[in-house]
Structure 1
């Protein structure tokens, strides 16, 4: 294990606070006093005995090396871990409506603000931020729906749909697919209770992605197109509010068709999204979807990669304005670069694949260092590169804790 300028106690404090444990709670968990914990966290007393390090690590849900090894400590800090995924699972298992007594009134404005903050964190690929705050926000949003007055009811339901969607997206990122399906289904059920087109369109995308993750592509496409058809008339009368959501349904359908290995349908759905994007105007509300021609184009690249048409994907990507891509969210940009990494790998252009993956890491470190999908790309490149490219991909793999 490597020496560190940061003492173990500082790491204990960091993880205790990240787990949202008070000093008293944590001291009780490890069978020590709060004064003992204060001395450990301040560095006044060293935590050096392995049995005690293991006890503290177990209470925090960590591998002991995360407390004692500098490189492991750095990698763990930057990624969502199993305990945080489990916290999201537990939040989904709560049914506050079954509790007796009148629920505490929740300030809808505060819950809405927190949901907006986590939505922004998601778009910037700061998944650790989302994971830390999502379980408590889910409970708050559930109570907001229970206590909202008539005029605030739709707004409360929209917040809860947003929170369930974030949970589903987070779980899909880290391949907890069955639970992601549960979160997406909760979003859809919530949206159907209020019969709000905004909520239904957003929930439908989440449900479709979750269905695709468990190999239910045909049903996912049916669901997406049913929602697109349902909202068609309303889109025509309220394009500024709903057009972006309508277009994103077609983009989701294009990716799902590609996953189903149906190139014709994938192309048709891309063209439907493109036609929608041509109607889109800058002052329209994109609801954090970043819908528009550029997002439509990079979805086409993603579809071609999933169809294993890597050469076509790269040819199409060459027609996309890089400056327009740079205007998208970090999450969208980095996933586009991951698609390009896979495409370049597919045609044997490993040097360019490493370059794309390096750019993705610069834009959104958590996407490359923490996601199983990116780890798979790193392992592939570790076995395929040489020279400077091998050195660069080796450095990325080291930061991600990936071995060949």
Structure 2
């Protein structure tokens, strides 16, 4: 019983800290003393009565079973949950510039490090890290832009664009598409307020992806191509900073056109991206977009899957060097593996589909165990695989909490 109390207490502490709730505040929320909470979290006192467990779970915005069942706890803590999505929503609905403390000084160096850290966490598919820290970055970045001098305006706006882009990308991963559109639109308005092509190109890609998620494919393509054309002269003058961003716009346009089943446009945008990648390749390792030939090639596979040319996508994938794919970010690698999973399912090669999905889980567990898209692939494979692949799929589904 004492060991059980320690485990439950450790879970209470984990979720309290994940929700960023100070001990006094949380104790007040459950109507208990700080001393009582300390004893619960240390395992000195048992959290045994169901009404108290439910009260504690409610304050933590989790199901009571998360506190009492180890498997449920492990599945829940590895994923972004509804409470964290609501925190991002709340951050989007907050306007710090209107509050009395809007002129609080923000340490720009610290803010820059935080934005870089979350960008890196995103690239590593560490979505729970991003979700826990993103609302504070969004709030601080907004305040920083309000207080910035002319000299610091571009730097602070870039951070705010980054924060809103991360919010949009996160929400798209978990299919909160209307909120993703709002976050991307915020990024776009922020970028349009300054003369900075870097910010505008990055915001354009986000807003186009959000448009696509709400089925505005034609407008997304127009927006992407217009921005790529607009920045053409500046790219020639400053390729080291801007060529990769232009190339990513072409890639996004290719994927969007493929989603519309416009093969000619998808092919044309892919060729434009390849041309940019071949010119940019020497700088590949210096740029956080991961833009380069390898990224362009795996985007081609994704486009072919969207064009329902899954056999062709798999043949094309054979021409891509595994070593080159391994140089990309974890987020890019795992999404490539999800595309291959979809392609194999489409052609009826369920054994290989299970293998690709298993490799995706090894590469980026949160991509498979937490995303609705991957859950759909798991359900499909649960109903189609047999033998050893079926056992692998059942194990993955169990870790993801997915049933057929």
Partner of 1:368: 368
Deviation at 1:344, TM superposition (A): 0.5
Deviation per CA, 1:223-271: give whole Å up to 9, x if none: 0011001000110111111100000000000000111121111111111
How far residue 19 of structure 1 moved from its aligned partner, in angstroms, is: 0.2
Q: Which residue of 2 aligns with 1:159?
A: 159
For the residues of structure 2 that align with 1:237 and 1:15, how far apart are their CA atoms?
A: 50
C-alpha distance in structure 1 between counterparts of 2:327 and 2:387, whole Å: 33
1:91-102 aligned within 5 A: 91-100=91-100
Deviates more, 1:230-239 or 1:92-101: 92-101
Give deviations 1:123-152, integer Å, cap 9, x for gaps: 000000000000011111111111122211
Report the counterpart of residue 342 of structure 2 in structure 1: 342
User: What residue is the counterpart of 1:399 in the other structure?
Assistant: 399
Structure 1: how far apart are the matches of 2:284 and 2:389? 43
Mapped to 2, the partners of 1:309 and 1:288 lie a distance apart of 30
Distance in 1 of aligned mates of 2:268 and 2:281: 22
Match of 2:23 in 1: 23
The match for 2:251 is 251
Distance 1:156 1:52, change over 3 A: same
- Tell me how far 1:372 sits from its aligned partner: 0.4
Partner Cα distance (1:302, 1:5) in 2? 48
Distance in structure 2 (CA, Å) of the matches to 1:170 and 1:101: 28
Give per-residue Cα distances to partners, 1:188-234, cap 9 Å, x unaligned: 00000012100000000000000000000000000001100100011
Secondary structure of the 2:324 match is helix
Provide the rounded CA distance (Å) in 1 between the counterparts of 2:127 and 2:192: 28
Q: How does 1:272-283 map to 2 (within 5 A)?
A: 272-283=272-283
How many Å apart are 1:4 and its aligned residue? 6.1
Question: Secondary structure, in 3 states, of the residue corresponding to 2:32?
Answer: coil
Deviation of 1:287 after TM superposition, in Å, equals 3.8
Task: Identify the range of structure 1 (303-312 vs 182-191) with the bigger mean alpha-carbon deviation.
Answer: 303-312
Q: Within the alignment, does 1:378 sit opposite 2:359 as a pair? A: no
Counterpart of 2:73 in structure 1 is 73
What root-mean-square deviation, in Å, do the aligned CA atoms of Structure 1 and Structure 2 show? Answer: 1.3
- Partner residue of 2:295? 295
TM-score by length of 1: 0.98
Q: Is the 8 A contact 2:257 2:265 kept in 1?
A: yes
Query: In 2, Cα distance between the equivalents of 1:343 and 1:101?
Result: 53
What is the TM-score with the length of structure 2 in the denominator? 0.98
Instruction: Tell me which residue corresponds to 2:146.
Output: 146
Partner residue, 1:240: 240
Query: Which residue is 1:58 aligned to?
Result: 58
Shift of 1:316: 0.5
8 Å CA contact 2:125–2:367 kept in 1: the answer is yes
Other structure's SS at 1:194 match: coil
Q: Is the 8 A contact 2:5 2:47 kept in 1?
A: no
2: CA distance, partners of 1:44 / 1:295: 53
Whole-angstrom CA distance in 2 between matches of 1:247 and 1:383: 39
- The gaps in structure 1 that reach 5 residues or longer are none
C-alpha displacement at 1:295, in angstroms?
A: 0.4
Kindly indicate whether residue 309 of structure 2 is the aligned counterpart of residue 313 of structure 1.
no
- Identify if the C-alpha distance between structure 1 residues 359 and 6 changes in structure 2 by more than 3 Å, giving closer, same or farther: farther
Unmatched segments (≥5 aa) in structure 2: none
Answering whether residue 331 of structure 2 is matched by residue 331 of structure 1, we say yes
The question of whether the paired residues in 1 share the 8 Å contact of 2:251 and 2:299 is answered with yes
Residue-pair matches, total: 402
Q: Which residue of structure 1 aligns with residue 198 of structure 2?
A: 198
d(CA) in 2 for partners of 1:344, 1:6:
45
Aligned-partner SS, 2:261: coil
Structural mapping, 1:96-135, within 5 Å: 96-100=96-100, 103-135=103-135
Take 1:61 and 1:318, find their aligned partners in 2: how far apart are those partners? 46
Alpha-carbon offset, residue 100 of structure 1: 4.1
Query: How far is the alpha carbon of 1:6 from its aligned partner?
Result: 5.5
User: 1:294-351 deviations in whole A, cap 9, x for unaligned?
Assistant: 1000000001111111101001100000000000000000000000000001001011
Q: CA deviation at 1:99?
A: 2.5
